[in-house]
């Protein structure tokens, strides 16, 4: 069943985990012992190009040709799952992710990706479990921490969400700036409360002393209807950045939805 949230905010694909399949030789490198790709490697590269072009149906067909000879290739199984998820076919996506995980129980990409499917089905507890499992395999992974934060947020576990957001930012301060691209790891970007999400991210950046990002997400929180916007100026979590002109500028505009007692500076 198609999930409406997937149409609201696209998923982001990134490559963050080490590749497990044989590396493609660099034909242009003078140090390379091999000057040409094998037919098998060429076929996968062509399939990857189809994915990058968002020709997902053709990519699935090409990957499945590879799977005829390598039915337990976890990387290729995971790529098919990603393609199906981009086509909003969560049932088949989950099936291929699980095949990849069963083929290689330590393949964190597929484990994370199953979590994103559970998230889209609103099974937030299950999503959290998968993200935690992926993090046990690769602890310093900003994308998975980001996904974990989203799941905690939707599950209304706000302290845990804040910790996960902070961990994601500590590893990669640009984790929420990604606009998409090729890759085999799905980064979740859907939420039922965009204002609350923006506030939590702003708070995480503020606690890290990053005024630029804090101001950017405070503006988003303001414009997306975060209910307690006026109280932010007195929140100790923002003490490191509250005097920064970029942050102060955000408070010069009163949200259209604010009542008199919610306006910045009101008693």
d(CA 230, CA 35): 62
Which carries the bigger pLDDT value, residue 230 or residue 198? 198
Given a contact cutoff of 8 angstroms between Cβ atoms, the answer to whether 213 and 173 are in contact is yes
Looking at 70-157, list the stretches that DSSP marks H as alpha helix, in order from N- to C-terminal side: 74-86, 90-103, 108-120, 124-137, 142-154
14 DSSP β-pair partners = 185
Nearest CA to 152 out of 134, 169, 173, 131 is that of 131
pLDDT tens digits, one per residue of 234-257: 999 999 999 999 999 999 988 776
Residue 22 pLDDT > 80, yes or no? no
Report the distance separating Cα 169 and Cα 175, nearest Å.
7
Given this model, what pLDDT does residue 98 score?
98
**Poorest-confidence range of 119-123, 186-190, 198-202, 214-218?**
186-190
Is residue 14 helix, strand or coil? strand
229 has a pLDDT exceeding 50: yes
User: What is the distance between the alpha carbons of residues 56 and 33, in angstroms, rounded to a whole number?
Assistant: 33
Measured distance CA(241)–CA(42) in Å, rounded: 51
Q: What is the pLDDT of residues 150-193, one digit of tens each?
A: 999 999 999 999 999 999 999 999 999 877 666 899 999 999 99
Mean pLDDT (whole number) for 201-209? 98
Query: Does pLDDT of 23 surpass 50?
Result: no
Predicted confidence (pLDDT) at residue 17 exceeds the cutoff of 70:
no
What one-character DSSP code corresponds to residue 134?
H
CA distance 56 to 58: 5
Q: What is the value of pTM for the model shown?
A: 0.85
Average pLDDT, rounded, for the chain: 87
Q: How far apart are CA 70 and CA 64, in angstroms?
A: 9
- For 239, other C-beta atoms within 10 Å of its C-beta total 12
**pLDDT, tens digit, 9 for 90 and up, residues 26-60:** 433 444 455 689 999 999 999 999 999 999 999 99
- The predicted model gives 105-126 an average pLDDT of 97
Q: Is 88 left (phi over 0), alpha (psi -120 to 50) or beta?
A: left
The tokens of 17 are what?
């985990």
Alpha-carbon dihedral 232, 236, 240, 243, rounded to 10 degrees? 50
Could you please report the per-residue DSSP string of 177-214?
T----S-SEEE----S-HHHHHHHHHHHHHHTT-HHHH
d(CA 19, CA 30): 23
Q: To 10 degrees, what angle do helices 74-86 and 56-69 make? A: 160
């Amino acid at each position: 069943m198609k999930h409406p949230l997937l149409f609201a905010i696209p998923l982001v694909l990134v490559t963050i985990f080490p590749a497990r399949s044989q590396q493609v030789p660099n034909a242009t490198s003078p140090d390379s012992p091999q000057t040409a790709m094998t037919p098998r490697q060429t076929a996968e590269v062509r399939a990857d190009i189809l994915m990058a072009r968002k020709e997902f149906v053709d990519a699935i067909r090409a990957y499945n040709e590879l799977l005829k000879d390598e039915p337990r290739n976890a990387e290729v199984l995971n790529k098919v799952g990603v393609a199906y998820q981009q086509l909003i076919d969560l049932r088949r996506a989950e099936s291929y992710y699980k095949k990849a995980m069963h083929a290689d129980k330590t393949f964190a990409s597929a484990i994370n990706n199953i979590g994103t499917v559970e998230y889209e089905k609103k099974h937030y507890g299950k999503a959290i479990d998968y993200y935690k499992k992926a993090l046990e395999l690769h602890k310093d992974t900003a994308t998975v921490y980001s996904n974990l934060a989203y799941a905690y947020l939707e599950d209304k576990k706000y302290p845990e969400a804040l910790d996960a957001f902070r961990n994601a930012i500590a590893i990669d301060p640009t984790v929420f700036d990604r606009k998409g691209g090729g890759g085999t790891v799905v980064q979740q970007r859907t939420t039922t409360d965009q204002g609350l999400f923006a506030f939590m991210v702003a708070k995480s950046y503020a606690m890290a002393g990053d005024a630029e990002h804090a101001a950017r997400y405070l503006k988003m929180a303001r414009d997306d209807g975060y209910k307690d916007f006026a109280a932010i100026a007195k929140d100790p979590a923002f003490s490191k950045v509250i005097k920064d002109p970029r942050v102060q500028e955000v408070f010069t505009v009163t949200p259209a939805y604010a009542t008199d007692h919610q306006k910045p500076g009101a008693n």
